[in-house]
């Protein structure tokens, strides 16, 4: 019944406080709805689809049909399963499938950037490899999910997804080195982690956007250049020292990874 699956548990930080604030603010209520909508499996899958280049000027409809067909094939061959409940979600894929595991890493990178862009929210989570039953979007259970949840709830502390050593070994064994080395970093406290800053690094330096979506990459660079100041400003507005420390940690992580990000503006030739 169980399968050996790469499993990621993700939680939106500050969500409970946001819900309390929404009682007297329609704008905050809308922000909550936007964040939850983004976590719905169909929405997350749509956000990670292949799209034809904006540079294509002829036969665009044909290109779109080809891209849609490719997405259908990818969904069948390299299935990523997603379950969402309240402000949490679980993503899983067979641990021995390189493409599926890569897709999970890219989904996490895109989701963390998108939910920051739209709602200025940070995420935290845990990622592990282990036994999991995840046959559809409604039913999910197993030791891997419990372990991923415990990583998020008891060890992560900061806005990051903690990645178990077993995942790193699995990535290396499957040949997914290039992708995980761009997204996953080693923290000062000895954990492997995915952060908002490392998600930006992957999307700017190594994602397929660099093949032809030059303006999208340039926009990400501009957003990243504002990221440290935005985190600092939001952190200063927090009354809770515990919440303030999370923004300060994320800000320090941006500064730490800044030198490794290729900020040269992309141009088409």
- The CA–CA distances, whole Å, from 222 to 10, 86, 138, 215, 264 equal 26, 32, 39, 10, 11
> What pLDDT, on the 0 to 100 scale, is given for residue 177?
58
Helix (H, G, I), strand (E, B) or coil at 57: coil
φ and ψ at residue 172, rounded to 5 degrees: -65, -40
Overall average pLDDT of the 136-159 stretch: 92
Quote the CA–CA distance of 95 and 93 in Å, as a whole number: 6
Per-residue pLDDT tens digits for 195-238: 999 999 999 998 888 887 889 899 999 999 999 999 999 999 98
Q: Residues, the chain, total?
A: 269
Domain boundaries, the chain: 3-260
Overall average pLDDT of the 10-16 stretch: 85
| 127 DSSP β-pair partners | 8, 163
For 3-260, CATH number out of 3.30.70.1230, 3.30.360.10, 3.30.70.2610, 3.20.20.80 equals: 3.30.70.1230
- 157 and 130 Cβ atoms separated by less than 8 Å: no
Quote the CA–CA distance of 38 and 232 in Å, as a whole number: 25
> What pLDDT, on the 0 to 100 scale, is given for residue 150?
96
Residue 22 binned pLDDT confidence (cut-offs 50, 70, 90): confident
pTM of the entire structure? 0.83
């Amino acid at each position: 019944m169980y399968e050996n699956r790469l499993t990621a548990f993700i939680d939106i930080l500050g969500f409970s406080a946001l819900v309390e604030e929404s009682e007297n603010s329609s704008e905050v209520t809308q922000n909550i709805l936007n964040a939850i909508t983004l976590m719905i499996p169909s929405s997350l899958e749509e956000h990670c689809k292949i799209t034809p280049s904006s540079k294509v000027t002829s036969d665009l409809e044909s290109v779109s049909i080809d891209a849609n067909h490719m997405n259908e094939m990818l969904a069948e061959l390299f299935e990523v399963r997603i379950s969402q409940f309240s402000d949490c979600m679980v993503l899983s894929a067979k641990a021995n499938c390189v493409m599926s595991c890569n897709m999970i890493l890219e989904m996490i990178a895109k989701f963390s950037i998108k939910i920051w862009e739209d709602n200025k929210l940070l995420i935290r989570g845990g990622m592990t490899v282990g036994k999991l039953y995840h046959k559809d979007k409604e039913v999910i259970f197993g030791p891997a999910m419990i372990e991923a949840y415990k990583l998020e709830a008891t060890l992560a502390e900061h806005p990051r997804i903690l990645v178990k050593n077993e995942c790193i070994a699995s990535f290396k064994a499957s040949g997914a080195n290039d992708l995980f080395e761009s997204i996953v970093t080693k923290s000062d406290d000895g954990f492997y982690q995915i952060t908002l800053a490392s998600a930006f690094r992957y999307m700017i330096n190594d994602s397929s956007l660099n093949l032809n979506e030059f303006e999208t990459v340039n926009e990400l660079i501009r957003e990243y250049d504002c990221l440290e100041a935005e985190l600092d400003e939001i952190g200063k507005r927090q009354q809770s020292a515990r919440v303030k420390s999370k923004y300060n940690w994320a800000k320090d992580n941006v500064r730490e990874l800044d030198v490794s990000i290729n900020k040269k503006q992309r141009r088409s030739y």
